[in-house]
Structure 1
Amino acid sequence: MAPISGDAVSPSNTRVGWIGTGVMGQSMCAHLLNSGFTLTVFNRTISKAQPLIDRGAHLAQSPFAVASQSDVVFSIVGYPSDVRSVLLDPNSGALAGLRPGGVLVDMTTSEPSLAVEIASAAAAKGCASIDAPVSGGDRGAKNGTLAIFAGGDESQVRRLNPLFSLMGKVNYMGSPGRGQFAKLANQITIASTMVGLVEGMVYAYKAGLDVGLYLNAISTGAAGSKSLDLYGGRIMSRDFEPGFFVNHFVKDLGICLKECQNMGLALPGLALAQQLYVSLKAHGEGNLGTQALILALERLNNVSLRPSLTSTT
């Protein structure tokens, strides 16, 4: 199959590869398997790919090997350095193993300039590349309701919609790198929203309110948000399991600040949020979920919301 042109993408004519089967990738791959797509996966820690292998996915030993058996290769890994390694390494990377006509789809939140570089390298080989980072966390991945921000050739994004639609809603943002810019703007919005959420909770607690009742009360008003819906209850139950890692959020916000510097842009809310998340990392909490921001605010104010839990359960 040559996905750059020809028949619509379907399980009968498109072999899918996947690099990175962590918190997000695991669920996204499951949707593809459930829809009948042939799937070849690679993950540095094989145990994280095992549930997918048990469900019929094929295991490859390198990104190169994934691509050599696939028409469309998705990646969702940790950092821009990981993206560069799994996609562009001349010996083990996916692009080196991809046949002309194949497509790379990087769903990692990464640097816009790297997305442009990958697209140029893919085009030089007669392939295509889409940057398609996602928002929605672990629940969005499980429910197939992710927001997908796509940059690259628009006709290519349309052709891949049968795959994207299994994971969520694809939004075409423009030329290569624009998907990444959209995701970074998304992260800026989330960062300040999370600061507002946890500050409101600490204020309500200090004022003597039942924090659970307070969250319920504001959820249907103007202060309601996706962050509140996703994380309010988790914070109240001290559930800091990662739907999205603090470490990865620090990486994302760092990329945002670097791009702000390039643009000559001052975003003080972003800078504050990044410092608070860096403080979590400094306390050894980088592998917790982003809702652990409450811990930073509790430390700053020498309070703990724990005692208020008894009145909300």
Structure 2
Amino acid sequence: MMFSSVIDSMTNRRDALRGMAGASTIAAGMAAMGSFPAQAAGSKRVPVDFKDPAQNLKAFIKITADLDPTKTSVGWFGGTIYGNRGIEALKPLIGVQGVGMMRIKPMADNVYHVFNREFATYTDLKTGEILENWKNPYTEETVEVIPIKNMIVNAKVSPIIEQDFDGHKVTFPFTPPWITQTDKAFSLLEIHAAFPNPMKPDVWPRESAGPINRTSEMFQRMCNLEDLERDDVSAANYIGTWTRVGPWLPWMLMGQADGHMMYRSFMNRTGKIENLPPKLLAYMEKKYPDFLKAPGDETWGKPNDSSFTVYMSQNKPKPPKGS
């Protein structure tokens, strides 16, 4: 669900691009085979040629957002974050729950401008309550919990992806795989990246996990095939999962300790803000109401946010433990 990681990987990361192009991945769904109600009736169905980059991208936009530029897609996700260290079994650490507000602006030549905003809270595993503080089970230190607050996560997507490899421009078509089974369509977005950590260990010794960030993002979505095949349907309702493997979060104050984290969560399109979980919605309305809407056109061209850049802009390095 965290589109910021995908944008970073697609636009800036050499290793991530190789992984994405080589694996030929981008978007799928849950194994559950429940049906969704069609959004309209009576329109002619035209099969999608997923080998055609323009048609593939249009289907991808439908399952992740909404082709109608006047509508904002409200996406929810929620699950558990696990710690993984050495030969230890995975340790459930904390819950995570959040929302993505995405709006699409179609441009000429099958190009789309994506306007996206992300917010997430961390929750108690037993009660589900949103946490302000958390006792790190590895260090026994109580730390302040910092929500994910990415105000701008915009992107330009097109049927032909162009990247610069050390001054050499490389292009490849947007043709990620889709699987269709009876009346369902499945899509998978999978990006594996290794890139320099903007949070340098010598400046952020307690917050930085190291000089290199290694992350994997895996999004799975399932929708009604009919919604992709009808032009009178601008968005395909989906259910799915988000899995992530990534470094310790800065606010956990793990420093360069061995290990990493795995996120396991469900996600879906809620249709409207009022359908978000009540506790999450009330918390956002009270403290972070600006994250309940997608970025406006005026944000186009401005720098994108990530959890690391936002943390660095709003916090100072913690002093060494015990000082």
Whether TM exceeds 0.5 here: the answer is no
> Structure 1 or 2: larger strand share?
2
> Structure 1 or 2: larger helix share?
1
TM-score (norm 1): 0.28
